[in-house]
Amino acid sequence: MADKLVYVLNGPNLNLLGTREPEIYGADTLDDIGNALSDRAAQLGLTIDMRQSNHEGHLIDWMHEARSEGALAVLLNAGALTHTSIALYDAIRAIELPVIEVHLSNPHAREKFRHKSYVSMAAKGTISGFGANSYLLALEAAAAL
Ligand code: DQA
Domain ranges of the chain: 4-143
Q: Are 92 and 121 in contact (CB under 8 A)?
A: no
**Rounded-to-integer distance, Cα 75 and Cα 140, Å:** 11
Give the separation between CA 55 and CA 63, rounded to whole angstroms. Answer: 13
pTM above 0.75, yes or no: yes
Select the CATH number that applies to the domain covering 4-143 from these four: 3.30.70.20, 3.20.20.140, 3.40.50.9100, 3.30.70.2860. Answer: 3.40.50.9100
Ligand 1, pocket-test mutation among 103, 110, 113, 130, most atoms within 8 A of CB: 103
SS3 of residue 28 by DSSP: coil
Beta bridge partner(s), residue 26: none
> pLDDT digit string (tens) for 23-44?
999 999 999 999 999 999 999 9
Annotated catalytic residue, options 25, 89, 118, 135: 25
pLDDT tens per residue, range 73-108: 999 999 999 999 999 999 999 999 999 999 999 999
Pairing outcome for strands 99-103 and 4-10: unpaired
Q: Please, what is the angle between helix 30-44 and helix 133-143, to 10°?
A: 30
